[in-house]
Amino acid sequence: MDSIIGRHRANLAVGAGLAALTLVGLGSWWSAGEIEDDLTERGRAALAAAGITATVDVEGRDAVLTARPADDGRPPAAVDVIRRVHGVRRISWTVAPASDGQPARGPSPSATPTTPTPILTPTGTSTSPPTPSPTAPRTPTPSTEPDLEAWPSPVIGFASEQTALTTTARSQLDAVARRLREAPEVVVVIRGHTDDLGPTAHNRALSLARAEAVAAHLRDAGVAAERLEIRALGSAEPVRPNDTAAGRAANRRVELVYRTGSTQ
C-alpha cells in the first residue's frame, strides 16, 4: 500500500513540473511578443517625432526599416533615429517606393534591393551598405587656342640699302606660311627696321619696303592679305648699337609678331 501511495505522489510531482514548464514557456512567448510590440511602437514614435517618413517593424529585437536613402546613396536618416531606440539590437533597411512619380533612389542606381540592407549598430555586427559606383572623371576638352609662343619667329635680315629676300629668308617664310594656313584666326604683324645710316624719312621708307617684301612672299604662299599688318619703324628700335658693321647688320631686319583676332 505504501509503495502505491509513493508512486502516486511521484506522478503528481512530475505532472506539476510539466505544468510549470509549460507556463514558463508561454510566459516567455508572450514576453517576446510584448517586446516586439513595444520596440515597434517606440520606433514609430521616434520617427514621427523626428518628422521622418518611414515604416519600422521589429522581429525579436531586430528592426526592419522601409525608407528612402540619402541623396548621396548613404543609409537613410531613419537608421540613426531607430539606432537610438533602447533595446533595438540590429537594423536593416529596404528602399521605399517613390511618392512623386520618380523612381526610388537606393544604394544601387540600376535596381532596387530585394533584400534588406544591413546596418551596423552598437549591439550587433553586420556589413556596410553598398556604395555607389564612382563617376568616371571627365576628359578635359583640349584647347583650340594656338600656342603662338611655339610658332617660328624668324628675324629676316637684309643687306645695306636692300629689300630683296635671301634664299634662307624665303625658306623661313614658307614655314611661317604653313602655320598661318593651319590657323586662320592668327594675324601676323610684320615690323620693318633699318640701321641709322641715312635720313629718318629715307630709313622709314626703306623699312616699309622691307616689310612689304615679306608680306608679298606670305601672300604668294597662300596667306590672306587681311591677316597681314605692316609696321615701318625705320631706325627707331635698334637691337644693337649702330657704331659697328655687325651692329648695323643686326638692325637691318624684319620681325614677325603673332596674335589672334582681326587686323588693326
Q: Is the pLDDT of residue 254 over 90?
A: yes
pLDDT confidence tier of residue 156, bands split at 50, 70 and 90 = very high
The pLDDT-based confidence of 219 (bands split at 50, 70, 90) is very high
Residue ending a domain, among 78, 99, 119, is 119
Handedness of CA 22, 24, 27, 28 (dihedral sign): negative
Q: Is 259 helix (H, G, I), strand (E, B) or coil?
A: strand
Residues with Cβ within 8 Å of residue 59, at least 6 apart in sequence = 36
Give the pLDDT confidence score for residue 24 in this predicted structure: 44
Mean pLDDT of 71-88: 77
Residues 90 and 163 in one domain: no
Output the average pLDDT for the chain: 77
Check residue 136 and give its pLDDT: 62
**Residue 56, domain member (yes or no):** yes
Contact between residue 217 and residue 165 where contact means Cβ atoms under 8 Å apart: yes
pLDDT category at 5 given cuts 50, 70, 90 is: very low
Query: Do 100 and 192 reside in the same domain of the chain?
Result: no
Give percent of the chain above pLDDT 90.
39
Predicted TM-score of the model (pTM): 0.47
Q: Closest Cα to residue 90, out of 62, 67, 116, 118? A: 62
174 plus 111 within the same structural domain: no
Instruction: Give the count of domains, the chain.
Output: 2
Residue 141 domain flag: no
Is residue 179 within 8 A of residue 151, CB to CB? The reply is: yes
pLDDT value, residue 212: 97
Cβ atoms of 106 and 76 closer than 8 Å? no
* Higher-scoring residue by pLDDT: 108, 54: 54
Q: Which of 207, 229, 204 is nearest to 218 (CA)?
A: 229
Give 107's pLDDT tier (boundaries 50, 70, 90).
Answer: very low
152 and 202 together in one domain: yes
Examine the pLDDT at 44 and tell me if it is beyond 80. Answer: yes
For residues 42 and 102, state if they share a domain: yes
Assess whether 85 and 152 both reside in one domain.
Answer: no
Among residues of the chain, what percentage have pLDDT more than 70? 66
Q: Domain holding 198: CATH number? A: 3.30.1330.60
**Which helix (H) or strand (E) element contains residue 137?**
none
